[in-house]
Amino acid sequence: MGEAQEVQLQIMVEEAKKPKSAQNINMTAAVPQQIDYKWWLRIALYILIVLVGQTVALLLGRLYYVKGGTSKWVETLMQVAGFPVLLFFYCFSAFKKPTSNNLRSQPRSSFIVALIYVSLGLLTALNCFLLSIGMLYLPVSTVTLISASQLGFNALFSLFLNSQKFTPLIINSMVILTISSILLMFQDGSGEPSGVSKVKFAIGFICNIAGSAGCGLILALMQLCFRKVLNRGTFKEIIDVIFYSSIVATGATLVGLFASGEWKGLSKEMELYELGKVAYVMTIFWATIAWQIFTVGVVGLIFEVSSLFCNSISVLGFPLVPALAVVFFHDKMDGVKVISMVLAIWGVVSYIYQQYLDKSNSETDSRIASEDSEAFPSGLEIVHK
């Protein structure tokens, strides 16, 4: 009788497994996947911040040069000196109580964290200075074309530093976004700077290439730092990275501004600015704010998704700049710009759909694993044995 009861108990356990497994499969197939709306809302907000911040910053940066600005270090300072705005976020987060979910990281070395902030700050200052030289000496279309190459650089660095996986949708997105930006090369050269020698043009070209490569490297390194060290999972972590690295970058830029002697000509530059002194100050001020907003969105997308996804969103904004220049600078709108924008939207939608698939699969696997663990507690497994 003991053997018969054991056999019967084994049969009951096996029968208990089958309905539950079938139920899991049927529920997965029949019930729509639960969408993490809060996560997607954050992603949408970061995307909006990146596109708006980058577009406004680039337009104001162009306005600075077009209307008489010549300082490369001032242009660099615009990109890194907006960190005091972030003090608002610190005041807001001071009233929030920490939760257990925000304390998931192991104790870390303050020296390592400080080294990360200093390294990112110095790399950012150097990268922004190189891009400023490119914006000074190159036509807008050429700058946009070269800047699109940062997507390829970022993919290469992400492959080695972050083991980035490349699916057909991601590859399609990268190709489409690159083509979208390359098409801008064929627009008219109405915005080309005048009086630029071949030597300066070559310098601007090399600096812009180096700046694009540096941008891809910085984004990949930032993702690596979030994954290995800065992994507390809080929004404050994002603000800390931007705030402290921006302080370092601003300090390095100010040293360059005074060491180069460009600061001596700023008062004359302000007087000769075509739109007036007030407009000169406002252009620099709002460009600085726009770059800081853009930085928050960039770091947020790296934190939530990946540096490659962040770069894809940034590249999407390149065709928007020539389109908005039609309104603000009365540039000519042609079919090439329209096609470029359509391709850019196509490329980003392709990438976002891949993120949706990855997120859905991850949530499905976690839910099934949780249901299985609840359905088969350890007691049944011991009895079965």
* Residue stretches of the chain with pLDDT short of 50: 19-32, 95-104, 189-191, 378-385
What's the confidence (pLDDT) of residue 211?
A: 87
Instruction: Give me the DSSP letters along 330-371.
Output: -PPP-HHHHHHHHHHHHHHHHHHHHHHHHHHHHHHHHHHHHH
Q: What is the pLDDT of residue 223?
A: 85
Kindly state the tokens that stand for 48: 């909006």
> Residue 68 domain-assigned?
yes
Which residue type is seen at 73? W
Total domains, the chain: 1
The answer to whether the CB of 145 falls within 8 A of the CB of 181 is: yes
Q: What is the pTM of this model?
A: 0.71
What was the pLDDT predicted at 109? Answer: 80
Within a domain: 185: yes
Confidence at residue 142, expressed as pLDDT on a 0 to 100 scale: 67
- Residue 307 domain-assigned (yes or no): yes
pLDDT value of position 8 = 59
Residue 28 included in any domain: no
Tell me, yes or no, whether 9 lies in a domain.
no
Q: Please give the pLDDT value at position 305.
A: 80
Question: Is residue 5 included in any domain, yes or no?
Answer: no
Q: Would you state the pLDDT for residue 255?
A: 95
> What pLDDT was estimated at residue 385?
41
Question: What pLDDT was estimated at residue 23?
Answer: 47
Q: How far apart are CA 220 and CA 224, in angstroms?
A: 6
The answer to whether position 382 is within a domain reads no
| 258: containing domain | 36-91+109-365
Q: What is the pLDDT of residue 77?
A: 93
- Rounded-to-integer distance, Cα 112 and Cα 338, Å: 47
**379 within a domain of the structure (yes/no):** no
For residue range 348-376, what is the model confidence (pLDDT) as tens digits?
Answer: 677 667 766 776 776 666 666 665 555 55
